[in-house]
Structure 1
Amino acid sequence: MTAGAAPFFADRAGAVASDDGIAHFGDPVREQRRLAAGEAVVPRDDRAVIEVEGPDRLTWLDSITSQALRALAPGTPTELLVLDPNGRVEHAAGVLDDGVSTWLIADAGDVAGLAKWLTMMRFRSRVEVRVRDDLAVLGYTELGTAEKTVALIAHRPHDLPLVWGDPWREVAIGGWQYAAAPAHPGAHYTWIEAIVERQALATLADVELAGLLAAEALRIAAWRPRWGREVDERAIPHEYDWLRTAVHLDKGCYRGQETVAKVHNLGHPPRRLTLLHLDGSDSVLPEPGTPVLLASSGDEASEVGHITSSARHHELGPIALAVLARRVPADATLEIRTDGSRIAAAQEIIVPADAGATAEVPRLTRLSRRPLAQQPPTT
């Protein structure tokens, strides 16, 4: 949540608050099913909005981020990453342009830092950057009553409704997918986030609501990374299969591009994101940051990664996203130890160990090491 902002709908019956907003409204599993069916709306207290105005906004954002934005058409959703000079992820945001302003939707914990960095990078560009605390974000899935309801109140300062469809459902132009799954779960992740005025939330008094736990479960099941959960100080986009939607591999230069190209073409990401199916017999969910261990019968075990997100999915049961070392075998038996419990975990591979090294580098003929006097004469 942004500083000083009260959670949306905190006074709704059954509302249970968390640090990020409303975790649920009394029945997390039912809320998740309704959300997946497009019949419920999630108040996204954990998301916030930045507006970028000015005639140079798209060419400027294109030059300093991972995404190709120069020709972004109004109403076309995409996303971007801000990388440091070594290619590590610093910021992430969904992007929507309405022909006059570019709107960035980011995790609330990242908004202040992202806005500050953008402001510092303006130089002579004709742009203005503003955090819009007067606006809120609502999340839902498409093709249900929730979509129709929220569409009526979506903010439209320049005629176009500010409704961002998550591009995760398919590989973006200029992107690349490492996941080798025959049916990527992201294809069914029809997630939408609408920007609305805070004062318009009062019109949703009779709308069915779902909490953040429901939204997180659907996201994790879709293998969808986010800044506020998966990203740490070592993160590079390749480790999360984020080249899929947030990086354009054929655009011009930007900060961190050298690392992006080098790892993708010649190397392998040092870590890899995986989905873990957890043994639910103890009804314990590991917290983010909990170590992932190679299974062992003794007290000592080798740590090979950590949990980034976890949830109870209404169909899959307890699941988690984890970042593991690339060397961990795909068939390794893993476990998580938390609250006195040992939780067995089975991998569903997202980023394979051989991700990257996509360039077809011709093999050069090895030169003879014989002294020149012993080499056959040339004609």
Structure 2
Amino acid sequence: MSLGRPFRAPRPFRAPRPFRALWTASAASNLADGIAFVAMPLLAASLTDDPRLVAGLATTYALVRLLVALPIGVWVDRVDRRTMLVVANLIRGAVVVGLAVSITREAGSLPLLYAAFAAIGTLESAADNASVSLLPAIVPDRQLDRANGRISAAQLVADEFAGPPLGGLLFAVAAAAPVYLMGGLWAVAGIVALALPIRRLGATTGTELTAREPLVREALQGARWLAGNRTVGGLALIGALASVGYMLPFSILVLFADERLDLDAFGYGVILAVSALGGLVGSFTTARVRRWIGYRRTIVASLLTGATSLVALSVTTNGAVAAALLAVYILHAVVWGICATSLRQRLVPDELRGRVNAASRVLSLLGLALGSALGGLLAVVSLPLPIAVGGVVFVACAVLAATLLPKANDSA
């Protein structure tokens, strides 16, 4: 391994057939996620005018994902990951179609919506972990950066550009219309995933299905491995702190856009759409930059870029400048995310990958919750303050990356 290497033009990314199936399933699933981002809150608002109950959907979703992360990580390592991905998407589609039918028959209710959202959160956790854990089995190590970049690009297009406006448009036609489409897209994702290879547990992992340790003990094995590995444990710690830094500004960004940038709802939507363009740039450039300067330098540079963009954002009052700075910020987030995911995929043993992914995810979810709470508290003092503090947090992340990540980490 070496920190950096002389720049050479990378070979074209020739996606193997299983990767194309995984990418297609991911794109369909993320388009459903983007539709749900708009349609589900609108559906909740049509059932109640209590803002606490509407906001409670997001809280329920976050809590469910936190609670199920570790058990799901164990099952991702226990069973065939293709099967888990297929089943999770098919059940998710069936749950949502059932919800759509109840809406069509005017039998929809808030408790039913909450139950469906909790099921969606649980199944999404299973599908996401299975997908990330499965990728190293179908793509060579040297291609993981580019493969993760392609998946990230599809996610951005579906989640940020296509899904939300499509969800709003369909809801205006009929409340159940976007829900039916979500169910169909998740069903398509499950069917397409059938083209993925089956994981032969006994042959490839040495794991005997007949002798299992208790669920909690298996989950702790992943957490202990994470804590004992300097690179992957360091990435998890940085990821948790970066989640705090992310939510500090984004928890109050809508207020900042209104009071400091003087933007209406449309203007706020525009700057968010523009910010996603930065993510697309990051999706297609990360592999090249990483190949040139190495993982460690790429991660440190991306975190410092995020810090700079937030500090600059905290002092601007111009909407166009804010949009550009947010695009730079999202670019950094995508670069960091691709590098962290690829390194974890390369370094974690296959038989522990689901559990280590889950333990890392728990730390990130806790960071998101803490960042959201701190953002609200700091905004009471001054609206730009949580954004500036977010920048300081990312400086701390960069220092941690420079300290904890080994200089020799370009290949695993």
TM-score band by shorter chain is: under 0.3
TM-score, normalised to structure 1, is 0.25
TM-score, normalised to structure 2, is 0.24
Q: Which has the higher contact order (CA 8 A, sep 6+)?
A: 2
